[in-house]
Structure 1
Amino acid sequence: MQSESKQLTSLEKMMGREHAQAICYSGYRDGQNPRLGIYPSYAEIKEDLLLLKNWSYLRVYDCSQHAETVLEVIKKENLNFVLMLGVDIAAEVSNPNCPWGADFSEEQLDQNRQANDEDIERLVALSRRYPEYVCSVSIGNEASVDWTDHMVPVERLVEFAKRIKSKIDVPVTFCENYVPWTNKLAPLVAELDFISIHTYPVWEYQSIENALEYTKQNYYSVQHCHPDVPIVITEAGWTTQSNGCGIEKWNASDALQAEYYQQLLSWTNSEKILTFVFEAFDEPWKGSDDPQEPEKHWGLFYVDRRPKLVLQNT
């Protein structure tokens, strides 16, 4: 308990505010797509953030125009948010273990390395422009887990962390599935201010009956390996639709999302574990063209900004 108490105090000090609600935010609506450079407008992001007023921490995934507009809205509208800023790093090595393919030419990998270096510099620049609103930065997202299509070697992640810390005084983390934290990411942990884990029982064929216990096991497995390092959950949630690809159709619904959300928050609020719920709004641009693709349906709000069942009783 003493170790956990010290972690909490340290984390709160780093983040600049006490334990509060957190959510992943990506504001892409119908017809918008970051891969095509079609971003939400200032007015659309303002509308979103006003809907999210019950949360204090936001997490965004990159340093694109989307992230810049989010910070602009928070500042100009005097909204009570702080932001975890990220970088959308691309593959620097091919990964034969990726189920949907991640084999790249050396030319493409060289281009990706250059783009990643440029993204790190954008992260630094944006953090300097909005220091009062950026509470932490992440050097990447799911770039070391064995199934990723954007694998980046651990030594490069270490390099990114060191480079950022030499340029800005902002807590640095890396957002990743819980498994790599228990083995291959040990060299990176030494360079980070805190660990950020992802836990998705529904992707691992867990039912709602044991979902929370599975989430706890994921969290405590990482804590066991790194007992003196603060741990944040940067993604945890439940999809409301599935076409059966990766998640059974029966295991995706508004009711199951609402139940898992309530269980998750009851535990994490009790234990003061900062948890970014995945996610604010449904995102139709993600995944396959199948409208029931599970990647599209993790939002607590539908894409038209109507609240799902999970929010109707809160």
Structure 2
Amino acid sequence: MNTFQALNLTPGRSICYSGFREGQQPGGICPSYNEVKEDLLLLKDHWSYLRLYDCDDHAEVVLEVIEKEKLPFQIMLGAYIVAEMNNFGCPWGGGVYTEAELDANRIKNQNQIQKLIGLANTYPTIICTLSAGNEACVDWTDHYVSVSSVINYVKQIKSEAKQPVTFCENYVPWLSKLKPLVEVVDFISIHTYPVWEYKNIHEALEYTKDNYFAVANMYPHKPVVITEAGWATNSNGRGIEPHNVSEENQEIYYHDLVNWTDKDGILTFVFEAFDESWKGSNEPLEPEKHWGLFKIDRTPKLVMESQMIL
């Protein structure tokens, strides 16, 4: 299924964008108007769609810059919902909260959903799709939310905003526990990361296709979008074998991915635009910090070097 046609969108390449630079992080120092403008001017000649994860101050600045500078982007805007249940199986030891914390989180989530709806209605020509959350139902998440709660959030968003609504999640839960959600969302959004599943670069594209079509073939009546797919360029060995990541491998995977998805008309958000040093542990080679197609100082990695010359 051509997802652009199904969602009434103009075909174009897409990327996940979070602009936090050195010394900045969510809940702390936020990128300034001029820093966001610098980022978007770097991205505008290569991508038409940006995915934002959260309705935070950063997202508001991004939307303001796009509107005031008249930049040619469409936005998938997400609400970042936090834990409403304990996940004692979280592999890195997170996911456990007191009842008081969970109660407070439910209030935060309701506020986040209302913020999403408000921004969707304030920027209806810029925000093209909405997400009710991100990786909140998968078994390893540290911000676990029940499927029934996500269903209620999706219904609430759909009742108060006009844009198509989804929920962004790893491909695996869509094959089982998220079946009740499928009939509620307007489209399915999957994340696929071959390198996290110990696939080498020669297996990567076929594995991505396997992940995609496992979901798409199960629900042929629903558009399926890839909202995260990418390749890290460094690793300290935590979850990703260091020999499997490099700028060379990132370049190969990026071109294989976009050539396939361009040809098949699959809306695909590459993960991600810029490296972000706040993510993961304090170790410099923590893989979470190294998914950008640009380094944190905004210099291009190998995959972008030739394209920046054009």
TM-score w.r.t. structure 2 length? 0.97
* Alignment of 1:177 onto 2:170: yes
Offset, 1:313: 2.5
CA distance in 2, matches of 1:114, 1:100: 25
The match for 1:9 is: 5
The match for 1:30 is: 22
- For the Cα contact (< 8 Å) 2:4–2:267, is it kept in 1? no
Partner SS state of residue 234, structure 1: strand
2:30 pairs, out of 26, 30, 39, with 39
The match for 1:18 is: 10
The match for 1:223 is: 216
Q: Deviations over 1:101-149 (max 9, x none)?
A: 2111111110101100010000011111111100011000000011000
2:105 pairs, out of 85, 101, 112, with 112
Letter in 2 for 1:34: P
Offset, 1:8: 4.7
Q: Deviations over 1:57-105 (max 9, x none)?
A: 0000000010000000000000000100011110000011211121111
Offset, 1:204: 0.3
CA distance in 2, matches of 1:27, 1:312: 20
CA distance in 2, matches of 1:231, 1:275: 10
Partner SS state of residue 111, structure 2: helix
Offset, 1:9: 2.3
- For the Cα contact (< 8 Å) 2:251–2:302, is it kept in 1? yes
Q: How many residues align?
A: 305
* Alignment of 1:164 onto 2:160: no
Letter in 2 for 1:126: L
The match for 2:40 is: 49
CA distance in 1, matches of 2:216, 2:80: 26
The match for 1:244 is: 237
The match for 1:92 is: 84
CA distance in 1, matches of 2:129, 2:10: 14
The match for 2:291 is: 298
Letter in 2 for 1:22: S
Matches within 5 A, 1:119-268: 119-268=112-261
Aligned-residue CA RMSD in angstroms?
Answer: 0.9
Letter in 1 for 2:75: L
Flag as ranges the 4+ runs of structure 1 deviating above 2 A: none
Letter in 1 for 2:139: D
Partner SS state of residue 166, structure 1: helix
The match for 1:280 is: 273
CA distance in 2, matches of 1:224, 1:28: 37
Q: Deviations over 1:159-215 (max 9, x none)?
A: 001101111111100000000011111111111110000000000000001100000
Letter in 2 for 1:168: A
TM-score w.r.t. structure 1 length? 0.96
Aligned residues with identical type, % of pairs: 58
The match for 1:60 is: 52
